[in-house]
Amino acid sequence: SAEVSRKKKERRRKLKRYLLIGLASVGGGTVIGLTGGLAAPLVAAGAATIIGSAGAAALASTAGVAVMASLFGAAGAGLTGYKMKKRVGAIEEFEFLPLTEGKQLHITIAITGWLCAGKYGSFTAPWSSMLQSREQYCLAWESKYLMELGSALDSLLNGFVNMMAQEALKFTVFSGIVTALTWPTSLLTVASVIDNPWGVCLHRSAEVGKHLAHILLSRQQGKRPVTLIGFSLGARVIYFCLQEMAQEKDSQGIIEDVVLLGAPVEGEAKHWKALTKVVSGRIINGYCRGDWLLSFVYRTSSVQLNVAGLQPVDLDDRRMVNMDLSSVVS
User: Is pLDDT at 318 greater than 60 in this prediction?
Assistant: yes
Of 31, 47, 77, at which residue does a domain stop? 77
Determine the distance from the C-alpha atom of residue 200 to the mean position of all C-alpha atoms in its chain, rounded to a whole number. Answer: 18
Q: How confident is the model at residue 87 (pLDDT cuts 50, 70, 90)?
A: low
- What separation in angstroms does the CA of 173 have from each of 119, 246, 311? 34, 34, 11
Instruction: List beta partners, residue 109.
Output: 137, 228
User: In the prediction, which pLDDT does 166 show?
Assistant: 55
User: Mean of the per-residue pLDDT values for the chain?
Assistant: 73
**In this structure, what DSSP letter does residue 47 have?**
I
User: Is pLDDT at 129 greater than 50 in this prediction?
Assistant: yes
**In this structure, what DSSP letter does residue 149 have?**
H
Could you tell me if 137 and 23 lie in one domain? Answer: no
Distance (Å, rounded) from C-alpha 119 to C-alpha 5?
55
User: Which tens digit of pLDDT belongs to each residue from 60-84?
Assistant: 444 444 444 445 454 445 555 555 5
Amino acid occupying residue 111: I
Specify the CATH number for the domain of residue 328. Answer: 3.40.50
Helices then strands, counting H and E runs in the chain, come out as 11, 9
Pairing, β 136-141 against β 94-98: antiparallel
Could you tell me if 72 and 88 lie in one domain? Answer: no
Of 51, 77, 103, at which residue does a domain stop? 77
Of 77, 103, 134, at which residue does a domain stop? 77
Could you tell me if 64 and 212 lie in one domain? Answer: no
Overall number of domains in the chain = 2
Enumerate residues 6+ apart whose C-beta is below 8 A from 293: 153, 156, 157
User: In the prediction, which pLDDT does 293 show?
Assistant: 79
Could you tell me if 47 and 101 lie in one domain? Answer: no
Q: How confident is the model at residue 209 (pLDDT cuts 50, 70, 90)?
A: very high
Q: How confident is the model at residue 30 (pLDDT cuts 50, 70, 90)?
A: very low
Enumerate residues 6+ apart whose C-beta is below 8 A from 65: 33, 38, 59
Could you tell me if 168 and 72 lie in one domain? Answer: no
Could you tell me if 73 and 98 lie in one domain? Answer: no
User: In the prediction, which pLDDT does 130 show?
Assistant: 81
Could you tell me if 201 and 222 lie in one domain? Answer: yes
User: In the prediction, which pLDDT does 218 show?
Assistant: 87
Percent of the chain with pLDDT over 90: 30
User: Is pLDDT at 24 greater than 70 in this prediction?
Assistant: no
Could you tell me if 305 and 191 lie in one domain? Answer: yes
Could you tell me if 141 and 69 lie in one domain? Answer: no
Q: How confident is the model at residue 162 (pLDDT cuts 50, 70, 90)?
A: low
Could you tell me if 62 and 103 lie in one domain? Answer: no
Of residues 37 and 142, the one with the higher pLDDT is 142
Of residues 296 and 213, the one with the higher pLDDT is 213
For the question of whether the overall pTM of this predicted structure is more than 0.85, the answer is no
To the nearest 10°, report the CA torsion of 27, 32, 34, 35: 120
User: Could you give the maximum distance between any two Cα atoms of the chain, in Å?
Assistant: 79
Contacts of 172-176 with C-beta under 8 Å, sequence gap 24+, read 173/289, 176/289, 176/311, 176/312
Structural domain for 107, as ranges: 84-330
Taking the CA of residue 62 as centre, how many other CA atoms within 13 Å lie in the half-sphere pointing to its CB?
Answer: 0
Q: Which of 31-45, 127-141, 181-195 has the lowest mean pLDDT?
A: 31-45
Pairing, β 107-111 against β 283-287: unpaired
Of residues 141 and 296, the one with the higher pLDDT is 141
Could you tell me if 15 and 129 lie in one domain? Answer: no
Could you tell me if 70 and 90 lie in one domain? Answer: no
User: In the prediction, which pLDDT does 261 show?
Assistant: 92
Q: What is the arithmetic mean of pLDDT over 250-276?
A: 91
